[in-house]
Amino acid sequence: MIRVCLDSNVLVAAFAARGLCSDLLAHVLSEQHLVIPDVVREETLRVLSAKFKLSSEALESVTAVLDRCEGASASHESSPIPVRDPDDERILADTVAAGVQILVTGDKDLLDVAEQSPIPILSPRAFMMLTRGGAL
């Protein structure tokens, strides 16, 4: 089983609408080991509440799903590489410190530094193509 982190933009898309990201979340929950850093969890719940105005019942359902996953507390490590957005540096640092093997994101700042990252950083589509191709 591969240790995978889905960034908050992927999780928000997965919970807000049906499509690639919801399929990806279902796949990771059933076939991989999902690790969610605290910063990703907090951002996901904040965006779903503030921007998408999810009801308290819907947020409880999201929280129940997130509670089934391994959490990762904020690390004291620095990001292994510079990223334009300091929030993304924190996500990368916490993900690497938690032993995550693949970070899946739609965030351009993270995708732009993927080649320098110590762990693969993939778009949702690239991750699904990789896993459906049997490479994982």
Query: What pairing do the DSSP bridges indicate for beta strands 33-37 and 70-72?
Result: parallel
Contact yes or no for 111/121 (Cβ under 8 A)? yes
Tens digits of residue pLDDT in 68-91: 999 999 999 999 999 999 999 999
Buried b or exposed e, range 14-39, using 16+ CB within 10 angstroms:
bbbeeebbbebbeebbeebebbbbeb
Q: Residue 136: pLDDT above 70?
A: no
Tens digits of residue pLDDT in 39-63: 999 999 999 999 999 999 999 999 9
Q: Residue 135: pLDDT above 80?
A: no
Instruction: Return mean pLDDT, the chain.
Output: 95
Structure tokens at 34: 């999902």
Give the CATH number of domain 3-132.
3.40.50.1010
The reported pLDDT for the residue numbered 9 is 98
Spell out the domain ranges in the chain.
3-132
